[in-house]
């Protein structure tokens, strides 16, 4: 049995076959895979695509966009999120991330986890699907923003 390591942990139980996932999730993963083609990553050569579905059913996609001044780069997940939010959509119901790793899956970086957790409202977690851009059938890590970032920072403003 192949072991999948997620952040140092064995997490095989959360890996599913693409074909067994709901068609709306498959569509979201395909959208992330497509967005990956637009990645601008001349420095890392590590292309990432992301897609976020909002509660109205719309899909917003993003890719990583690097910069010669490395700190100015932005990840695929935040690109997708800022596109949606800037168009008035922030009720995220699912997220997909696609990137190529030899083993395991690419999950959002710490900054993106915090960024997405901002939009987990009323305890309504955002399911997150991480996949590789290999030919179908592929396997998908099924997790969530709060699983990836338990106890993230929240701004209580003294309340
Ligand atoms: Zn990130």
Task: Answer positive or negative: Cα dihedral of 111, 60, 94, 40.
Answer: negative
Please work out, in degrees rounded to the nearest 5, the angle formed at the alpha carbon of residue 34 by the alpha carbons of 19 and 44: 115
Residues ≥6 apart with Cβ < 8 Å to 146: 117, 120, 125, 126
**Binding-site residues for substrate:** 64-70
Distance 48 CA to ligand 1 centre (A): 10
Distance 77 CA to ligand 1 centre (A): 6
- In the prediction, which pLDDT does 8 show? 41
- What ranges do the domains of the chain cover? 14-148
Q: Could you state, in chain order, the average pLDDT of each consecutive group of 10 residues for the chain (159 residues)? A: 52 86 97 97 98 98 98 98 98 97 90 97 92 79 93 82
Active site residue 77: yes
- In the prediction, which pLDDT does 136 show? 52
Burial (0-12, 13-18, 19+ Cβ within 10 Å), 60: buried
Short-list 134, 135, 112, 116, CA closest to 125: 116
Q: What top-level class would CATH report for the domain 14-148? A: alpha beta
- In the prediction, which pLDDT does 74 show? 98
Tokens at 87, concatenated: 């168009």
- In the prediction, which pLDDT does 92 show? 98
| C-alpha–C-alpha distance, residues 149 and 156, integer Å | 18
């Amino acid at each position: 049995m192949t072991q999948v390591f997620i952040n140092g942990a064995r997490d095989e139980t959360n890996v599913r076959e693409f074909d067994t996932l709901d068609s709306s999730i498959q569509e979201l993963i395909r959208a992330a895979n497509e967005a990956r083609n637009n990645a601008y990553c001349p420095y890392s050569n590590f292309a990432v695509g992301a897609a976020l579905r909002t509660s109205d059913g719309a899909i917003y996609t993003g890719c990583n966009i690097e910069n010669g001044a490395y700190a100015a780069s932005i990840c695929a997940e935040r690109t997708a999120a800022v596109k949606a939010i800037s168009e008035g959509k922030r009720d995220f119901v699912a997220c997909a991330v696609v990137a190529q790793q030899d083993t395991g899956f690419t999950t959002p970086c710490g900054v993106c986890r915090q960024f997405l957790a901002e939009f987990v409202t009323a305890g309504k977690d955002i399911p997150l699907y991480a996949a590789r851009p290999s030919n179908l059938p592929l396997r998908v890590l099924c997790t969530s923003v709060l699983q990836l970032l338990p106890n993230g920072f929240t701004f209580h403003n003294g309340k």
